[in-house]
Amino acid sequence: MSPQSRKYAKFGIPITIIVLALGYLAYSGVQETKSYYVTIKELNSMGGSAYSKRLRVAGSVQPDSIKRQGPKVEFNLVENGLVLPVVYTGSETPPDTFKDNSQALVEGNYGRDGVFHAQMLQAKCASKYAAAPTATAANTPAPNTEAASTNLPK
């Protein structure tokens, strides 16, 4: 082996190992955080493959199904007459908008016990926070900014 070949091997092998290790870490990180969005109907038809994937499921919170037990919350999601029991054990408390008949999105794993075990919970707000413009507000002229700017100190 020539001295130049040894020099390339001395630096090339460690660099190759580092690049392969970083590639593996990136691939495995993507695989762990990847989640599939499915409906309750699709979840029921997935069969055994549903148990091994990280999933996201949305639906309406069934009225009178919310049971809070400390940090754990049990409730049912409903979509087109199908019911999915959910147990949320995330690190954050459910948002204030999480209540009966609200739209919710859960992320986690479907258990063989028929219960969706969620680590993330989002609740959609049914109402808008901003008021709709009224007819009088739309016809009100804008304030005169030219007159206001003349009173500024120099």
User: CA angle, corner 73, sides to 69 and 76, nearest 5?
Assistant: 130
User: CA angle, corner 80, sides to 106 and 56, nearest 5?
Assistant: 20
pLDDT for the residue 78: 92
Residue boundaries of the structural domains of the chain: 1-30, 35-124
DSSP letter (8 states) at residue 101: T
pLDDT for the residue 31: 62
Residue at 83: amino acid letter: V
pLDDT for the residue 85: 94
Residue with tokens 């258990």: 111
Burial tier of 144 (Cβ tally within 10 Å: 0-12, 13-18, 19+): exposed
pLDDT for the residue 129: 47
- Contact in structure between 85 and 62 (CB atoms under 8 Å): no
Segments in the chain below pLDDT 50: 128-130, 137, 145-154
pLDDT for the residue 140: 53
Superfamily of chain region 35-124: Nucleic acid-binding proteins (2.40.50.140)
Mean pLDDT for all residues in the chain = 78
pLDDT for the residue 151: 45
Alpha carbons 80 and 40: distance in angstroms, whole number: 9
pLDDT for the residue 145: 46
Residue with tokens 């691939």: 27
